[in-house]
Chain A
Amino acid sequence: AQKVTQAQTEISVVEKEDVTLDCVYETRDTTYYLFWYKQPPSGELVFLIRRNSFDEQNEISGRYSWNFQKSTSSFNFTITASQVVDSAVYFCALSEAQDSWGKLQFGAGTQVVVTP
């Protein structure tokens, strides 16, 4: 069963608009990590953030912010004032203590298209 769901397949925005990517996860573990990765058109996977299950504090890094809510099993990602360079596929992923953190389970990804 899919443990990480990214319901949005593609989001198109005009530059300077905000965009929020949804991520819903499923786990029975009380200890787990959540991640976001970016895959630009060049194809590499770039690590953006890691959040552990005991830290629900929201985080902001420049134009990026993350909202982690255990009550709804969600870890959403917002890009503020989007730029063309933000065009990429974004993946949410989960690793669990039961797997000794050894397995990253990815969502299907959300394609973000930012047009000038």
Chain B
Amino acid sequence: DADVTQTPRNRITKTGKRIMLECSQTKGHDRMYWYRQDPGLGLRLIYYSFDVKDINKGEISDGYSVSRQAQAKFSLSLESAIPNQTALYFCATSDFPSGDTQYFGPGTRLTVL
């Protein structure tokens, strides 16, 4: 089984709808992250969490919110989806004491019509 899982893997939705993307990990890492990938722009950080009680905004947090329900779960919400949020979304985890390499989930492809 994969160490970092994301659900759903693909989602098509309409403008104005609320969407939640979920991430779970079995790696036992404290740190979790959400990124979005757009063609030609690499990955950009949306939110990150160093532990269950810690939430931080990243580079592009506007229009998004997150919830860290447990050490192993980190959800990303789009309260009112808009077409320019169409992108590939990645969750990642890292273990600071071990050097903080980030390991990524398989990604969620989101299309907002």
Q: Across the interface, do B41 and A108 meet the contact criterion of CB distance under 8 Å?
A: yes
B100 touches A43 (CB 8 A): no
Number of interface residues of B (CB under 8 A): 28
A43 B42 Cβ-Cβ under 8 A = no
Complex CA gap A56/B96 in Å reads 22
B107 and A102 contact, CB distance less than 8 A: no
Contact of A16 with B by CB under 8 A? no
Give A47-80 interface residues, CB cut-off 8 Å to B. Answer: 47, 50
Bound complex: CA of A74 vs CA of B99, how far in Å?
21
Interface secondary structure of A, over-half rule: loop
Contacts of B40 in A (CB 8 A): 9, 108-109
Closest CB of chain A to B53's CB: distance in Å?
A: 15
Interchain nearest-CB distance for A97 vs B (Å): 10
B74-113 interface bits toward A, Cβ cutoff 8 Å, 1 = contact, 0 = none: 0000000000000010101010100111111011010000
In the assembled complex, how far is the CB of residue B48 from the closest CB belonging to chain A, in whole angstroms? 5
B103 touches A108 (CB 8 A): no
With both chains docked as a complex, state the minimum distance between the C-beta of B44 and any C-beta of chain A, in angstroms. Answer: 8
- Shortest distance between the CB of A1 and any CB in chain B (Å): 12
Say yes or no: is A106 at the interface (Cβ < 8 Å to chain B). yes
**A103 touching B58 in the complex, CB below 8 Å, given contacts A43-B88, A50-B99, A91-B42:** yes
Interface presence of B50 (CB below 8 A): yes
Per a CB cutoff under 8 Å, which of B43, B50, B101, B107 touches A106? B43
With both chains docked as a complex, state the minimum distance between the C-beta of B11 and any C-beta of chain A, in angstroms. Answer: 15
- Measuring CB to CB, which residues of chain B are less than 8 angstroms from any residue of chain A? 31, 33, 35, 40-45, 48, 50, 56, 58-59, 88, 90, 92, 94, 96, 99-104, 106-107, 109
